[in-house]
Amino acid sequence: MHSLTSSQDTEVVNVRRRQQRSADTRERILAAAFEEFAERGFEATSTRSIAASAGVQHPLVTHHFESKEGLWKVVLTTVQANFVEYYGRYVHGEKHEDDVEELRRLQEAYIRFTAAFPNYSRLIFHMGSRPGPLLDWLLESQAKTYFRSLTQLIKSAQAQGRYVEGDPTHLQYLFIGCVTRIFMQWAEAERVMGKSLASETFVEQHVKLCLDLFFRDPPAAASAPAKKARKAAVSRSA
Amino acid sequence: MHSLTSSQDTEVVNVRRRQQRSADTRERILAAAFEEFAERGFEATSTRSIAASAGVQHPLVTHHFESKEGLWKVVLTTVQANFVEYYGRYVHGEKHEDDVEELRRLQEAYIRFTAAFPNYSRLIFHMGSRPGPLLDWLLESQAKTYFRSLTQLIKSAQAQGRYVEGDPTHLQYLFIGCVTRIFMQWAEAERVMGKSLASETFVEQHVKLCLDLFFRDPPAAASAPAKKARKAAVSRSA
DNA sequence: GTCTATATTATGATAGAC
DNA sequence: GTCTATCATAATATAGAC
């Protein structure tokens, strides 16, 4: 029992509380910055609006992140790390039956991630319009490996006649556009379509539509119903 | 012969010259604003940088367009009018053999327009993030009719089994994303793909890839080679 | 770490000479 | 219509008290 608190005890408690609060505000600023940067891009976002949206005073932004540019960098690397972590669970998960199934699950993961965090797509898109060393780094270390691993799978799937023909990298751009566009224009799309994009059923529809565009049924060894034939039809390991 | 110029003559000539120069600067500002707004969006663009890029003094911007917001509106309506004019040539052109061919040519026109003027896509995209009466007007008067006319054609094509299944409006978003994304990230895409996006061959590839994703061969009344069967296979009018 | 106050710069807009 | 000079505001960033 600690009914008596020494001055040392209270000291320790206070330090912890302060550290906790500091970490809190840092996180709040980071989260708010993610939203604002994703919505408006870097230049059009002010550190004041970030601070206001985080419920803190604006000098705290530069105190915790050095500068607006520093905040931008931390937001980008953090968000990208989150994506890689989320996505890596699928990449390094259990071995799949074949390359096509693995590719399918990877792309499905990408679609669901996009639907769940549309601001990720917006932020990554805005990133492209800010050339500089950070963009180079993210492109080299992250995007390139993302493209490379998927390119292998796409080539394999194409060799089996189960993925649409064409340059794999080019196809990846088509796929990304397909998946993300409607979520990047969330408000407008909901008005035009007259339905919620957040609903379970819409996301399922979106997953199915996007995947069915790119995946093709195998070239019919037999003329069996396509869905059931899919798993049995292939037995290779690229 | 006018070897002798009365004071009235020179007066007229000077007025014309001034009007010409005025119209010129107006156009230069408009063109520069189109580029800058497309690249960076409204908030992130300064009227000074527009003026600099147009090679004029910055007060001329407000003189010709009242305000930055006024310039934005003129840019949007002008660009949209250009698009509608370009696109209308295909819509109200010769009657096509059937709905599927008409739909195909419309979408092909959209792809080629996007490849030729990638900044159009960027501007329209930025437009969506500036809610207001102008957005409402453009959406109601332009986008809605664009969506509506295409929706009809898509339904017709789907009924013939020659277009991918799904909600037509939803499919339009997929298509737009497919077509525009790679051009909206022009610089990055050229680096990743290692080829020029402006080349004739790339545009042709892009047209083919995008169209082939959404158009499907007819459900094989006979098992004839699909390409040749296309024109003969249908005889309806939605 | 957090707040108030402030320095500095960039921007949208205007005034007035030519 | 065009230019120079200038105002008013908003933004990034910092200084200094607590």
CATH number, domain of A126, equals 1.10.357.10
B228 has pLDDT over 90: no
Based on the fold, state whether residues A124 and A18 are members of the same structural domain: no
Residues of B in Cβ contact (< 8 Å) with A185 = 125, 128, 173
Asked if residue A146 is part of any domain, the answer here is yes
Please give the residue of chain A at the shortest CA–CA distance from B36.
A129
Q: What is the pLDDT of residues A103-154, one digit of tens each?
A: 999 999 999 999 999 999 999 999 988 888 888 888 888 888 888 889 999 9
Nearest alpha-carbon partner for A69 in A133, A121, A26, A24 = A133
Confidence category of residue B1, pLDDT binned at 50, 70, 90: very low
Is A153 inside a domain boundary?
yes
Same structural domain, B60 and B108: no
The residue of chain B with its CA nearest to that of A189 is B173
Instruction: Please check whether residues A113 and A197 belong to one and the same domain.
Output: yes
**Nearest by CB: B128 against A180, A188, A206:** A188
Which residues share a beta bridge with B87? Answer: none
Structural contact between residues A28 and A56, judged by C-beta atoms closer than 8 angstroms: yes
Q: Which of A78-87, A203-212, B193-202 has the lowest mean pLDDT?
A: A78-87
Specify which residues A215 forms β-bridges with. A163
Q: How far is it, in rounded angstroms, from Cα A130 to Cα A128?
A: 6
pLDDT of B145: 83
**B41 contacts on A by Cβ (under 8 Å):** 40-41, 44
Q: Give the pLDDT of residue B230.
A: 44
Of B40, B176, B188, the CB nearest to A128: B188
**Shared domain check, B98 and B28:** no
List residues bridging with B215 in a β-sheet.
Answer: B163
Confidence band (pLDDT; 50, 70, 90) for B79? very high
Higher pLDDT pick, B222 / A217: A217
Look up residue B237 and give its two tokens: 């009018």
- Shortest distance between the Cα of B184 and any Cα of chain A, in A, equals 9
Residue B81 inside a domain? The answer is: no
Residue at B201 is within a domain: yes
* Residue A224 scores a pLDDT above 50: no
What are the tens digits of pLDDT across the range B118-169?
999 999 999 988 889 998 998 888 888 888 889 999 999 999 999 999 999 9
Lowest mean pLDDT among B22-26, B43-47, B58-62: B22-26
Do B156 and B63 lie in one domain? The reply is no
Q: Are residues A121 and A207 in the same domain?
A: yes
Share of chain A above pLDDT 90, in %: 63
Distance from CA of A75 to the nearest CA of B (A): 19
A207 and A124 share one domain: yes
Give counts: helices (H), strands (E), chain B.
12, 0
> Range of B109's domain?
91-214
Instruction: Please report whether residue A86 resides in a domain.
Output: no
pLDDT computed for residue A222 by the predictor: 52
Listed residue (B85, B94, B143, B160) closest to B117, CA to CA: B85
pLDDT(A96) > 70: no
Mean pLDDT over residues B108-119, rounded?
96
A21 within a domain of the structure (yes/no): yes
Q: Is the CB of residue B93 less than 8 Å from the CB of residue B101?
A: no
Give the per-residue pLDDT at B4.
Answer: 46
Share of chain B above pLDDT 70, in %: 86
Do B209 and B97 lie in one domain? The reply is yes
Interface residues on A facing B, Cβ-Cβ cutoff 8 A? 39-44, 125, 128-129, 131, 139, 143-144, 147, 164-167, 169-171, 173-174, 176-182, 184-185, 187-189, 191-193, 205-206, 209-210, 212-214
On the question of pLDDT at B117 being above 80, the answer is yes
Q: Give yes or no for residue B233 having a pLDDT over 60.
A: no
**Greater pLDDT, A13 or B134:** B134
Which nucleotide lies at the shortest CA–C1' distance from B69? C12
Instruction: Write out pLDDT tens, residues B188-218.
Output: 899 889 999 999 999 999 999 999 999 999 8
Same domain, B55 and B95: no
CATH number of the domain within which A10 lies: 1.10.10.60
> At CB < 8 Å, which residues of chain B contact A?
39-44, 125, 128-129, 131, 139, 143-144, 147, 164-167, 169-171, 173-174, 176-182, 184-185, 187-189, 191-193, 205-206, 209-210, 212-214
* pLDDT (0 to 100) of residue A201: 98
Task: Average the pLDDT over B215-227 and give the result.
Answer: 67
* pLDDT mean over A158-183: 98
> Is 70 exceeded by the pLDDT of residue A45?
yes
Whether residues B181 and A173 touch (CB distance < 8 A) is answered with yes
The number of distinct structural domains making up chain B is: 2
Give distance CA A108 / C1' C8 (Å).
Answer: 50
A39, burial (CB in 10 Å: exposed 0-12, middle 13-18, buried 19+): middle
- The pLDDT tens digits for B15-25 are 787 888 888 99
Our measurement of CA B219 to C1' C9, in angstroms, reads 66
Average pLDDT over residues A211-222: 86
pLDDT for the residue A94 = 64
- If asked whether residues A37 and A98 sit together in one domain, one would say no
Residues A99, A181: one domain?
Answer: yes
Residue A232 located in a structural domain = no
CA distance A162 to chain B (A): 13
| Residue B174 C-alpha, separation from nearest chain A C-alpha, in angstroms | 4
Chain D: bases < 7 Å from a protein Cβ: 1-5, 10-16
| Whole-structure pTM value | 0.89
Q: What is the pLDDT of residue A226?
A: 45
pLDDT at B93: 64
For the residues A30-40, what does the mean pLDDT come to? 98
B235 found inside a domain: no
Asked if B40's CB is within 8 angstroms of A129's CB, the reply is yes
CA of A34 to C1' of C14 (A): 37
CB B41 within 8 A of CB B126: yes
Q: Same domain for B55 and B135?
A: no
Q: Please compute the mean of the pLDDT values over residues A180-194 and round it to a whole number.
A: 94
